[in-house]
Structures are given as C-alpha cells and as structure tokens.
Amino acid sequence: GTGILSSQPEENPHWWNANMVFIPYCSSDVWSGASSKSETNEYAFMGALIIQEVIKELVGKGLSTAKVLLLAGSSAGGTGVLLNVDRVAEQLEEMGYPGIQVRGLADSGWFLDNKQYRRTDCIDTITCAPTEAIRRGIRYWNGIVPERCKLQFKEGEEWNCFFGYKIYPTLRCPVFVVQWLFDEAQLTVDNVHLTGQPVQEGQWLYIQNLGRELRNTLKDVTASFAPACLSHEIITRNHWTDIQVKGTSLPRALHCWDRSLHESNKNGKAPLKGCPIHLIDSCPWPHCNPSCPTIRDQFTGQEMNVIQFLMHMGFDVQKMAQQQGLEPSKLLGMLSSGN
C-alpha cells in the first residue's frame, strides 16, 4: 500500500514494519450497520459486524500477542474509527486480552453538521444535508453507535454520534484526528462547488467560515493535525510525509503521539518537549499553508499555483491586502513564496 500502509521506511518512517490489515469498505454504512439481508430487505449493511469478525479472526493470527492495535480509516472509514474504537477495545477485553492498547486514527471523517451553503432537497446522497443523510441511513443500516455517546442524546437522535465533535468527548480510547480545514467532501455536501466559474463572494466567505468552525471543534482534541488545505484524505497518500503544520509533518506528529501514550502509561508525565501533537493551522483561507498538496483544475486537470488558485476562487488581492494591512504586491509576493 501507500502512505501509512507502505512497507518502505522512506514513505512510512514510523510504522513501515508493523503488521497491517486492510479492510475494504463494502458495507456503505459508515462501518455502523448491523442489518442482514432478509425477505423484506434485499440489502445487507453489516459494517459494525464485519469489524468484529475481523478482530476475532486476527486474534488467532498473532493479534493476541500485540501491545497496540491502531484502528485507522479515511473518510467514511475515519468516522467508522470514531464509532468503533471503544467497541473494539471492549471486544478484546471480553475475549481476555485487556493488555492490548486500542487507539484510533481518524482521517477526513470529522464532518460538521453545519448549515449548507444552499439548502437542497434530499434526493440522493450528494444533495442531502449531512444530518438528514445520516438520519435516513441509520434506519436502513440498523446503525449501532457507542453506548456512552447514545446516552448523551434522546432516543431517535443517535445520528448525532456520527459527528466527530459530538462523539469525541465520550470516547475512552485515545484518538488522533486528522482533518483538512477545507475538506472537499464537506464542501460537496454543503453544496459549495469549486469548478468552472470563479467562486462568488458569498461562497468565499462561507469557505473561510467553514475553516473557522472546524478549527473551533478541534481546540479540545488532544492529538490533531489540521492543515489549511482544500483536499480529502491523506494517510494513504504517498505524499503524506510532505504536508506540514507549524513545521511538523503528520508521520512525526503520529510518532510523538505514540511516544506520549507510551510515556504516560509509564508515569503520567506532561507532554514530551519538542514533540507536538496538537497541530492546527491558523491561517484563514485554503492553501495558505505552503506545504498543501498540488491543486488541479477539476475540468482541465492542469496544475495551479497558489495565486492562480486564489484568483480562480475569486480572491480579491486588493481587499485582502487592505484587511491584512499590507501592500497588494507584498501580499502577492508572500503568497507565491508560500509564506
């Protein structure tokens, strides 16, 4: 595999020689379903049960002697980590393996149940507002959410537990959250489409506000990595080592997190010096971080530099320079050099 699944030390400096198991996403239920095929229901949604079966099978293949189990996932898999990490820990305890430390790594699955830029009727998954999609989905999937989260909400309101900032405070296992501040999947469900026409001012303000809201939901997340880029998914990309927040790459932050958990198990010490695990960009617009992945025009496939991208987004250099108290030429210079 690539990124965190790679067995090359250059591409995966910390976990290249770990035992890895990849579970394909075939259940379409955000890993929450427990609904088998029946006479009335021709579809099976069994994501939650698939994970349990895989854990059972792996115990006989060496998992029983593991010190750490890292449950990782991207996009729907990232949300699936939040929904399943405590259940996996409980399952291993019940099977008689309380010594295995279970941890989660949720990539691009920390969605917001925010107001859409333009409200649309729920005709399909793309036009459906995130809350409505999950609300309907849970019924089809017979979706399971963790008991501790469920207790926070009224009956019928379990959909809340699919949103990271609501479920995270209820989790027992340590979870590292990786999230682009301007996630493309979030923008799609919010009906902000960045193709073809330059972005209107309303959209531009909406996008910046999304970054602010997301940053806010992560402020109490102990271990997090949130670059100000427009993208989706990162841990299985081979460029995952290139992206930095405040001078720290994601593999380095994960290594720091791993070490801090190891140390705190030993003696409950304060965070390790010079080893940051709470990394969130503070600059305010997409791709203000110079290490962001390359942007491609969705129509032509051409690569764009930051200035071309911002112009395409309808970015007003004069106005922005004024807001930042800079000369326009100075702002353009800073953007093109990536400062």
pLDDT category of residue 266 using cuts at 50, 70 and 90 = low
Helices (H) and strands (E) in the chain, counts: 11, 11
Strand partners, 296: 303
Separation of alpha carbons 111 and 116, rounded Å: 12
Phi, psi of 182 (to 5 degrees): -120, 75
Q: Are 224 and 215 in contact (CB under 8 A)?
A: no
Type of residue at 111: F
29 or 322, higher pLDDT: 29
Residue-averaged pLDDT of the chain: 90
pLDDT at 240 over 60: yes
Q: Which residues contact 245 (CB under 8 A, 6 or more apart)?
A: 225, 226, 227, 253, 279, 280, 281, 289
Q: How far is CA 101 from the centre of its chain?
A: 21
Buried (b) or exposed (e) across 93-105, using 16+ Cβ within 10 A? eeeebeebbbbbb
Enzyme catalytic residues: 75, 183, 232
Separation of alpha carbons 261 and 277, rounded Å: 11
Q: What is the mean pLDDT of residues 192-197?
A: 72
Tokens read off for 172:
């027992």
Residue 111 is predicted with a pLDDT of 96
Domain boundaries defined on the chain:
3-289
pLDDT at 219 over 80: yes
74-94 pLDDT per residue, tens? 999 999 999 999 999 999 999
User: How many CB atoms are located within 10 Å of the residue 299 CB?
Assistant: 8
Separation of alpha carbons 214 and 179, rounded Å: 9
Nearest to 223 by CA among 182, 266, 186, 178: 178
Residue 271 is predicted with a pLDDT of 62
